[in-house]
Amino acid sequence: MQFHPARKAILKLLADGAFHSGSHIAQTLHCSRASVWSIIHELQQLGLEINAVSGKGYRLARPLELLDAEVIAAQLSAEARPLLTLLDIHDQLDSTNTYLMAQATAGLASGAVCLAEHQTAGRGRVGRVWQSPFAGNICLSVLWRFEEQASVAGLSLSIGVALAHALRRAGIAGLGLKWPNDVLWQARKLGGILLEVSGEAHGRCAVVVGIGLNLHIPPAAAEAIDQDWVDLGQITGGAPPSRNRLVALLLDEVLRLLADYPERGLAGYIEEWRQWHCHAGRAVALHLGGKTIVGTLLGVSDAGLLVLDCGEAGVKEFASGELRLRVL
C-alpha cells in the first residue's frame, strides 16, 4: 500500500531532519497549512517523532532514509541483478511475507522482492509479533520457487549465513548466529528470518524468505519486545549503514544463495554456520508448546538439527518447527 502523495511528499521533505516551515511545506504541496498540520499529525500517529517549534516549523527528531528501488538495484552485483525479477516497495503492508505469499499463489516468478517501510502485522517465528516501526527496520521478503521440496532443507540456516555475510560487508563486526535463524550481536538479537513454504503440484514449492533487521527501534516499539535486542544504531554509535545499501547487500547475498541452493544445499553452508554459532557448549532450554527440555547445546548436525546433551536422557536431535531456544 502506498501513502497518499501529499503524505509521501511531506515525509520526503522532512526526511533530512532539518526544520521546514508550515508555510513552505504548504506552498510546495499547493495545500493549506491546516492540511499540512493534519498530515503531520498522521505521521506522528505512525510513531514518527516530529518536533513542532513556533517560528521554525516542523522537523523529524531523527533523519530518515526512505527506501528507493533505483538506488537498491544500482548497487547489486552483476551476478545478482538478473536474479531480481521485481522490486516492490510499499509504504505500509500488514506483512511483507503475507503479501508476497499471496502474490506467489497468483503466479509471481522467482526473484520477486517485497519491502515495506512499515508493517502493521509483522510476524516472527513461533507466532511472535515482529516490531516494524516506520523506516526503522528492514522488512524484506524474497520469493523463490524450487522444483523439489527436498531442496529447501536447511535453507533457513543457510540464509542466516547470507545475512551474516551482508552485515560483515556493511562493516558490522561482533556478529553471531543462534539456532535456528537469529542474527545476534554480542548475544543480543539484531535480526531474524521467517521462512514460509507453500507446496505445489509434483513436489514443487514456493518459498518466501522473510528477513527483519533492526536499524532503529524507537522506545515505544522497544517496550513491546520480549527478547534481549539490539539495533544497528546502537552498534554503530548512532551512525548505522545506509538502509538502501544494506538492502542491496542482503539481496546480493540472498539471491545468489537461492539460485545456487538446489546444487549446494545446506552442505555448502553448514561448516560456516558452525563458525558463526554463538552458543555451543551452553546450557539451554528448549520450549515446545507447554513442554521444556533442558540440556547442553552440543551443536548443529549436518542436517541442520539442534544436538542437545539431555543428561540421563542421552543425546537428542531437534528440528526447529515450533521450538524456541533459550540460553540459560
Positions touching ligand BTN (CB under 6 A) are 95-97, 119, 122-125, 128, 130, 139-141, 182, 192-194, 210-212
Q: Which three cell numbers stand for residue 211?
A: 528477513
Pairing verdict, β 182-185 and 86-93: unpaired
β-strand partners of 118:
92
> H-helix or E-strand containing 164?
helix 155-169
Q: Which residue is nearest to ligand BTN (CB)?
A: 192
Least distance to ligand BTN, CB of residue 297, Å? 18
Pairing verdict, β 112-119 and 137-146: antiparallel
Least distance to ligand BTN, CB of residue 132, Å? 6
Least distance to ligand BTN, CB of residue 271, Å? 23
Classified as helix, coil or strand, 83 is: helix
Q: Is the dihedral of CA 123, 126, 131, 137 positive or negative?
A: negative
Pick 57 or 231: Cβ nearer ligand BTN = 231
Residue 192 is which amino acid? G
Strands (DSSP E) along 166-248, which ranges?
175-178, 182-185, 188-199, 205-214
Classified as helix, coil or strand, 161 is: helix
Least distance to ligand BTN, CB of residue 140, Å? 6
Q: Which three cell numbers stand for residue 264?
A: 549446494
The catalytic site residues sit at 125, 189, 326
Pick 25 or 253: Cβ nearer ligand BTN = 253
Q: Is the dihedral of CA 232, 235, 238, 242 positive or negative?
A: negative
- Between CA 125 and CA 288 the distance in angstroms is 13
Least distance to ligand BTN, CB of residue 192, Å? 2
Pick 39 or 167: Cβ nearer ligand BTN = 167
Pick 75 or 214: Cβ nearer ligand BTN = 214
Pick 10 or 142: Cβ nearer ligand BTN = 142
Q: Which residues contact 55 (CB under 8 A, 6 or more apart)?
A: none
Least distance to ligand BTN, CB of residue 72, Å? 15
Pick 40 or 164: Cβ nearer ligand BTN = 164
- Between CA 262 and CA 258 the distance in angstroms is 8
